[in-house]
Structures are given as structure tokens and as C-alpha cells.
Structure 1
Amino acid sequence: MDPPRVLSDRLATQRLSSAPVASAADAVRLLTCVQSQERDHAFFSLAMRSTSATYAALRAEHDAGAFLRTHILRPTWHFVAPEDLRWILELTSPRVLSGMAGRHRQLGLDDPRRLGDGLELVAELLQDKPFRTRHEIGAAFNERGSSITAGQELGHLLLVAELRGLICSGPMSGVHHTYALVDEVVAPAPARERDAALRELVRRFFVGHGPASVKDFTRWSSLTGADTKAALADLGDDLEQVEVSGVPHWRDPAAVPRRRRGAPAAYLLPVYDEVILTYPQVTFPAAPDHPFAERPDPFWARVVLDGVNVGLWKRTVTSDVVEVDVRLAPSVSPRGREQVRIAAQRLAGFLGRDLSYAENEGRPHLWRG
């Protein structure tokens, strides 16, 4: 399978170019876990794949608990369906926590008594669903005289609490994330045997992200290559293996829907979007005259047109306008530029704001250089 076909199939598998799924929660289930470090960008990622086409609709689903936002798979935020939370945490959190042990020693969170006292206080503060923000939890810790201070110590304590399955997201408070006790917002579920859970996570990943490689899965899941290959062997013919530039990739051929008529030619892909972030090796090729192709930036995201990375975009949201600054490769045709503008209009529609659109020249000022 050649790379252009792989990229085309991924767009369809992830429902960017094929028929959208019914809800944002269904998009989360399709992808199993969706990185949401930048929450509002990640909301747009879900909207691009579903019929939940507005920010208000996405927020309503999230606030109702149809999908959760928490630290899972890696030490960063992800969306996950409630029914998938416990078993994925049980499978993946040990390696994530082990990888963070050094930092936790620096913060004094390797002291079992100190950590235990902190986790007990978090549970006490969130009991009966007050849905507190991190700032509110920090203020309560200070009032109680806790040795765990606001900032990195509290942030990592909350991360440990999430990775252990004690807390997850509650409904948003204004623009702020809140926390809830998992046992109060997620239905109980029987534990899964590890090998069965591993097979299920591997199968789900390749169904929702294929064609993809073992390295794509290990980066996404934090699990080992040996575990991944063992699970693929156990799955046997459930997945199809294809070669891409000499590297084995897997997919579920039944899960690649047909490209829909009128599918977009251009995408303003949000920062950390799964169709970009998941695949560091076989990804959208950059146009030769791309304004800045060397490395990603957490604030400037990619513009993909006809399967090629042709530029960067950034948004600024005000009360009634979204300003979209686009930097495109000079080689992009007038037709291509119009398609990019249409993609920006889709973003404005999602946010329920007027569009202020600008194509500017040259490299943007990038974060850290």
C-alpha cells in the first residue's frame, strides 16, 4: 500500500472524509482515547468527525458525562468514554506512573503517607459531586494546612489520582475544567484479565486509526512493542496486515468506510489532532515551499489540502468573531486557497462566530523559536 492511499484511508477511517458518526461520544469511542490537551481544539476534532457540529453541542455532551476528559494512556489529557475508563487505566497506568517516578520523587510524592493523605483529601473534597476546579481544590488544601502546595505538587497529585482511577472530569465551570470522583460519575464494571484487555485495546486502536504500525500504537498507548506484537498474533485474521514502505501496518478492512460525496478537500486540523499526532512516520507530506515544515508547534496547527500539508493556521476567539490567520505555501492554487477558506468557515460555524480570515505571508513567530 502506498503512502497516499494510507493517508486517504485514515481520513475515511477517522470519519473526516466519510460519513460522520452520530455524536461526539461516538467519535471518542471510535478513536478509543482522543488527546485533549487543548480542550477546545479537541472539541473541534470531535465535531469534524460527528454530527455534533457546534461547540454548544459538544460541551453539552461533555457536561452530561457522555465522554470524560482525564489523564489516561500518557501523562496528558485525553477524552475517553465512561465505559472504557477503568479497564484502560488498569492496563496502561502502571507504565505511565513508573515513567513519572523520578519527577514524583523530586516533588516528595514518593512518600506513601504524604501521597495517601493528599489523595484522601481530594476524595473528601469531591464527595457528593461539588465538581471543584483545580484552583478551588488548591485553596481547600491550603485552608486544611496540607503539605502539598498549589502548583506542580498539586498538579501531579491530581494526575496520580486520575491515573489511579480515583477522579476524572466533571462538567465545565465557565471555561474551567472540574474534577469528580470516578465512583460517583462512572458506572462500576467488572475487571478484565490483562491479556484480554490488551487484545481489545490493540484491536480498537487499529480499527479506529488504521492503517497504523506497531510504533504508532506504542507511542499512543505507552505499552511495549512485545505486548503489541503478542496481541496482534492473538488477534490473527481479525486485522489485515499491509506493507507501507516496507513496514507492516494493520487495519480492519471492514472499518474503512467509503469517502462521502462532497467530502472536504481542505482541513484546518486542530493542534494534537489524532490524524496527525498518531503517525510520526507516515504522515501528510509537506509542500516543498511550506512556510515552516521542520517541527510542530503547540499553537500553530496544520493545513492539509488534497492530502498534502500546505501550511499552518492559528485562531483567536473573541466574543463574536474568530480570527483565523493562515500561512500557506506560495504554490497553493487559487482553488486550493478557496477550499482552505471554506475550512475556516466550518470552524467559525462550529464556534457560532463570524469569521475574520487572513492569509498572511512568511513564517509565523513560533513558540520557543
Structure 2
Amino acid sequence: MDPARVLAQRLATQRLSSAPAPKAVDVVRLLTCVQSQERDHAFFSLAMRSRKDTYAAVQRELDSGAFLRTHILRPTWHFVAAEDLRWILELTSPRVLSGMAGRHRQLGLDEPRRLDQGLELLAELLQDRTFRTRPELNDEFTCRRSTIQPGQELGHLLAVAELRGLVCSGPMKGVHHSYALVDEVVPPTPSRTREEALVELVRRYVAGHGPTSVKDFTRWSSLTVADTKQALAEIGGELEQVEVEDIPHWFDPTQVRRRSPAAPAAYLFPTYDEVVLSYPQVNFPSLPDHPYADHTDPFWAWVVLESVNVGLWKRTVRPDVVEVEVRLAPGVTQDGRTQVRRAAQRLAHFLGRDLSYLEYEGTPHLWGGDLGHPARRPRRADR
């Protein structure tokens, strides 16, 4: 399959260029888990794919408990539908927690008695649907003279509690994320064997992200290549296999959707959007004169026009206006620039603010400077 066709099909499968899903939770179910450490940007990712196209509408669904924000799949936050929480945690959390063991030893969270006492206090503070934010929990742990200190220790304790299925998100309190006890806000769901859960997770991922490769899935799920291939073999003829640049890819033929006549030509994708982040092998190509195509930056994300990465964008949200700055490659046509501005206007509508649009060329000042994102710098030989 030609890469251009792959990219077009993914945009349609993920409801970006096809008819939008009715609700934000329908998008979460389609994608199964949606990376959301930048919550407000992740809200926009859901809004771009659904008829709930404002921040307030997406937040109402989160606050209702239809979908949750919690640590799952990897040691970072994701949105997940309430009914999918327990079985995905049971399948994937053992590998995630194992990968965090070294850091927990540094923090003293590998001491069972200390960890258990921290988890017991956390459960006590949240019982009876007493939703608390991280700052509120910091204060309570300090007042109770817990051995778990505010800051990194409490942060990692909360992540362990989420990965074990003890806590998840509650409704937002102002701009703050709150925590709730899973057993108080998530109804019981049928248990699955490990094999059933593995097959279901692979099937769901391919349905929402296809065409996609084994490497795409293992990066997303933290599971092994062997597990993935086993599940694909069991699913068998339900999925269609194609070669993309000599790499096997799979998609669900029942999920192939038509491009809508109303589909936008340009998108301002958040840095961690699923259609950008999920595909390390076959992704949107960059124009040769792209302002900065070699490294990613947490504050500058991709501008995609007609399935090509044509520049970078960032936003600054003020009380009545959102300032959107874009850096476009010189080769973008005037019509293309108009389409990018329309994409910025969709962001302003989502936030319920007026738009201040700034368009420039050239490389912006990036976090980490010319070396790029610190996490992606070459390691010195003596380290």
C-alpha cells in the first residue's frame, strides 16, 4: 500500500476526515486509550474527532465518568472508557510497573510496608467519593505525617495506585485533575483471561489506528512483539494485511471510512495526538524546507496540510483570546495558508475565545535549542 493512501486511511479511520463521532467518549472507545498528559490538548484531540467540539462539552463527559484520565499502558496519563479500565490494567500494568522498579527503589517505594501504608492512607482520603486534587493530597499527607513526602514520592505513589486499579480520575475541580477510588466510580466489568484480553486489545488497536504495524502496537501498549504476533495469528482473517515500505501493516476492513466532503484540509495536531504519536515507522512526510523537522518539542506541534507536515504551531491561552503562532515552510501556497488559519479558528472555537493569529517562517526558539528535545540528544560515550 502506498504511504499516502495509508495516511489518508488513518485520518478517516480516526474520524479526522470522515464523519465525526457523536461523543468524545466514542472517540476514546475507538482509539481504546488516548495519551493525555497534556489534558487540555488531549481534549482538543477528542473534539477534532467528534461532534462535541468545545472544551466545555468534552469536560462534561470526563466529569460524568464516561471516560477517565489515568496512568495506563505506559507510565503516563491516558483517557480510557470506564468499561475498559480494569481489563486493560490487568493485562498491561505488570510490565509497566516492572519498568518503574528502579525509580521506585530510588524513592523507597519498593519497601512493601511503606508503600502499603501510603496506599491505605490514599484510599482513606478518597473514600465516600471525596474527590481530591494533587495539591489537596499533598496537604493531607503532610498533615497526617505520612512517610510518603509531597512531590516525587507522592506522584509515584499515585501512579502505582492508578496502575494497580485503586484510583483513577474524578471530576475536574476548577482547572485541577482530581482523584477517585475506582471501586466507587467504575462499575464492575466481566473478567477476561490474559489471552482474551490480549486478542481484544490488538483487535481494538488495529480497528482504531489501522493501517498499523507490530512496532506501532508494541510502542503504544508496552507489550511484547511475541504477544502481538500471537494475537494477530488468533485474529486471523478478520484483519487485512498489506505491505507499506516493506513493513507488514494491518487494518480492519470493516472500519475503512469515506472522506467527508466537509473534511478540513489542515490540522493543528497536539504533540501527543494519536495520529502523530502512534506511528514511528510511517508518518506524515515533511516539506524539504520545513522550519524544524528533525526533532520534536513539547511546546511546538505539527501543522499537517493535505497529509504533509508543513510547519509548527503553538498556542498561548489568555482570558478572552487564544494566540496561535505558526511557522510554515516557505513552499506552502496562499490557499494552504488560508486552510491553516481555518484550523487555528477551529481551535479558538473549541476554547470559546477570539483568535489572535501570528504567521511566521523560520525555525522558532525550541526547548533545548539547536540540540532539540533533551530526551533525544545523543548520549555521551562516557555515560
Normalising to structure 2: TM-score of the pair?
0.96
Match of 2:119 in 1: 119
Paired with 1:361 and 1:306, the residues of 2 have a C-alpha distance of 19
Paired with 1:361 and 1:264, the residues of 2 have a C-alpha distance of 23
Offset of residue 66 of structure 1: 1.1
Match of 1:275 in 2: 275
Match of 2:308 in 1: 308
Match of 2:330 in 1: 330
Match of 1:213 in 2: 213
Match of 2:14 in 1: 14
5 Å-filtered alignment, 1:122-141, equals 122-141=122-141
Aligned amino acid, residue 140 of structure 2? A
**1:169 has 2:169 as partner:** yes
Offset of residue 191 of structure 1: 1.5
Match of 1:150 in 2: 150
SS in structure 2 of the partner of residue 129 of structure 1: coil
Offset of residue 158 of structure 1: 0.2
5 Å-filtered alignment, 1:1-369, equals 1-369=1-369
Paired with 1:280 and 1:333, the residues of 2 have a C-alpha distance of 28
Deviations 1:123-166 (CA, angstroms, capped at 9, x unpaired): 00000111100111111111111111011100000000000000
Match of 2:376 in 1: none
Offset of residue 361 of structure 1: 2.5
Aligned amino acid, residue 18 of structure 2? S
Paired with 1:225 and 1:364, the residues of 2 have a C-alpha distance of 38
SS in structure 2 of the partner of residue 171 of structure 1: coil
Offset of residue 271 of structure 1: 1.8
SS in structure 2 of the partner of residue 42 of structure 1: helix
Deviations 1:65-109 (CA, angstroms, capped at 9, x unpaired): 111000000000000000000000000000000000000000000
Offset of residue 262 of structure 1: 2.1
Paired with 1:299 and 1:169, the residues of 2 have a C-alpha distance of 25
RMSD across aligned C-alpha pairs, in angstroms?
0.5
Aligned amino acid, residue 304 of structure 2? V
Offset of residue 362 of structure 1: 1.5
SS in structure 2 of the partner of residue 173 of structure 1: coil
Paired with 2:259 and 2:249, the residues of 1 have a C-alpha distance of 21
Aligned amino acid, residue 329 of structure 1? A
Deviations 1:33-75 (CA, angstroms, capped at 9, x unpaired): 0000100000000000000011110111111111100000000
Offset of residue 18 of structure 1: 0.2
Post-superposition, which runs of at least 4 consecutive aligned residues in structure 1 deviate over 4 A?
A: none
Paired with 1:133 and 1:352, the residues of 2 have a C-alpha distance of 25
Aligned amino acid, residue 53 of structure 2? A
Offset of residue 194 of structure 1: 0.3
Paired with 2:67 and 2:330, the residues of 1 have a C-alpha distance of 41
Aligned amino acid, residue 272 of structure 2? Y
Q: What percent of counterpart residues are identical?
A: 75
Paired with 1:289 and 1:322, the residues of 2 have a C-alpha distance of 27
Aligned amino acid, residue 246 of structure 2? G
Deviations 1:211-242 (CA, angstroms, capped at 9, x unpaired): 00000000000000000000000000011111
Paired with 1:60 and 1:108, the residues of 2 have a C-alpha distance of 38
- Give the paired residue count: 369
Aligned amino acid, residue 359 of structure 1? E
Match of 2:377 in 1: none
SS in structure 2 of the partner of residue 233 of structure 1: helix
SS in structure 2 of the partner of residue 215 of structure 1: helix
Aligned amino acid, residue 139 of structure 1? D
Structure 1: gaps of 5 or more residues: none
Paired with 2:43 and 2:270, the residues of 1 have a C-alpha distance of 9
Normalising to structure 1: TM-score of the pair?
0.99
Aligned amino acid, residue 352 of structure 2? G
Paired with 1:257 and 1:360, the residues of 2 have a C-alpha distance of 35
Aligned amino acid, residue 170 of structure 1? G
Paired with 2:6 and 2:28, the residues of 1 have a C-alpha distance of 22
Paired with 1:126 and 1:239, the residues of 2 have a C-alpha distance of 43
Deviations 1:287-339 (CA, angstroms, capped at 9, x unpaired): 00000001111111100001100000000001110000000000000000000
Structure 2: gaps of 5 or more residues: 370-383
